[in-house]
Amino acid sequence: MKIILSYLLMLSISYSFTFDKWHSGQTWGEVVQFSEDINLPIHTHGIASGNKDFIKNITIDRHSKNKLIYMDTLLGEHTENTLFFTKTSKKIYKISIRFVNTKDKKSLDSNIIRGLSKKYGKSKPEPLTINTFIFPKRGLLWIKNSDYIIFNPGMYGKIIYTDNILANLNENEILKTKKKVKEKNFVRDSNRL
């Protein structure tokens, strides 16, 4: 019952973007707790995991990491889903869904485009460069408020949801972290000059 209530509460709040059970702004701790509640075998980037169950020490003890990955199915096809978190505040700012071992690419591409168009309206007609993202000519882009939803059809189709407000926060957090490291190095090494 606790799982159902927390999931319904999550769905009732309006977020910048949502995909499946996740939303932009969701914290690392919330994702780990929810994954444990539903026994989702999620793990940090860089760990090969064939686990069929949630294992807490693979996920929770890796706060230096900024990605969590799990395998799933979408539209009857296997996917590798990656949740990207901001550097220090640890909030979801991007989700990538990569289709693996796709059987019928044309039908899958058509269904993805149809589903995204139903949810977000018509895609933008031309490739765009936004911030540091360059969208390939064959990719499709949907824009909703401050979010970008990109679909790259083809052999390994990929859908990417990005909350640009949180993506900018992530860039700022990365810059602040780099600045702190440089200052720490200077303080440590300045007397050696």
- Distance CA(56)–CA(78), nearest Å, equals 24
Q: Could you report the per-residue pLDDT of 46-58, keeping only the tens digit for each?
A: 665 566 777 766 6
Q: What is the pLDDT of residue 22?
A: 95
Would the pLDDT of 179 be above 90?
A: yes
Mind listing the pLDDT tens digit for each residue in 139-178? 788 888 878 888 887 766 889 999 999 999 999 999 999 9
Alpha-carbon Rg for the chain, nearest whole angstrom, is 19
Give 158's contacts (C-beta < 8 A, 6+ positions apart): 96, 97, 98, 99, 150, 151, 152
| pLDDT > 50? residue 193 | yes
Q: How far apart are CA 135 and CA 164, in angstroms?
A: 15
Quote the pTM value. Answer: 0.81
Residue 87 backbone dihedrals phi, psi, to 5 degrees:
-60, -50
pLDDT cut 90: percent of the chain above it = 39
Tokens found for residue 77: 């096809």
Q: What is the structure's pLDDT at 132?
A: 47
103 or 98, which is more confident: 98
What's the residue count for the chain? Answer: 193
Q: Are strands 129-130 and 133-134 parallel, antiparallel or unpaired?
A: antiparallel
**Looking at residue 91, what DSSP letter applies?**
B
Residue 97 has pLDDT above 70, yes or no: yes
Q: How do residues 102-133 score in pLDDT, each as one tens digit? A: 878 888 999 999 999 999 998 876 555 544 45
pLDDT of res. 13: 46
- Give residue-wise pLDDT tens across range 31-74: 989 999 999 888 886 665 566 777 766 655 555 689 999 999 99
The candidate with the shortest Cα–Cα distance to 148, out of 169, 123, 113, 172, is 123
DSSP H or E stretch at residue 84: strand 77-85
β-bridge partners, 163? 147
**Per-domain boundaries in the chain:** 2-178
